[in-house]
Amino acid sequence: MQEFGSAAAPAFEPQPFDRIAVIGAGAWGTALALTAYRAGRTVALWAREEAVIEQVARERRNPFLPAAIDIPEDILVSNDLARVLDGADLVLFVTPSQHLRAMVRRCRPMLSAGVPVVVCAKGVEGEGGALMSDVVMQELPGHDLAVLSGPTFAAEVARELPTAVTIAAAAEDGFGRSHLAARVAVSLATLTFRPYLSDDVVGVEVGGAVKNVIAIACGIAEGRGLGSNARAAIITRGLAELTRLAVALGARADSLGGLAGVGDLVLTCSSEQSRNFSFGKALGAGGNPDMAEGGPVVEGAVNAATVGALARKLGVAMPICAGVEAVLNGAAIDEIMASLMSGDLRPEALEAENDLRIPHPAATSQEQDHPTEEGRLSA
Active-site positions read: 211
The CA–CA distances, whole Å, from 35 to 26, 39, 49, 58, 85 equal 14, 6, 22, 22, 18
φ, ψ (nearest 5 deg) of residue 9: -135, 150
E strands within 247-356? none
Coil/strand/helix, residue 230: helix
Q: How far is CA 209 from the centre of its chain?
A: 5
The SS3 call for residue 92 is strand
Closest among 191, 134, 131, 163 to 28, alpha carbons compared: 163
Could you give the angle at which helices 299-314 and 201-223 cross, rounded to 10 degrees? Answer: 120
From 87, 138, 137, select the one nearest 117 (Cα to Cα).
137
Within 13 Å and on the Cβ side, how many CA atoms surround 153?
19
Main-chain phi, psi angles of 30, to 5 degrees: -65, -40
What is the C-alpha separation between 332 and 61, in angstroms, rounded?
42
Tell me the β-bridge partners of 1: none
Measured over the CA atoms of residue 260, residue 14, residue 141 and residue 49, the dihedral's sign is positive
CA dist list (Å): 147 to 131, 331, 356 = 11, 35, 37
Cβ burial of 197 (10 Å; 0-12, 13-18, 19+) is middle
What angle do the packed helices 228-248 and 319-328 form, to 10 degrees? 110
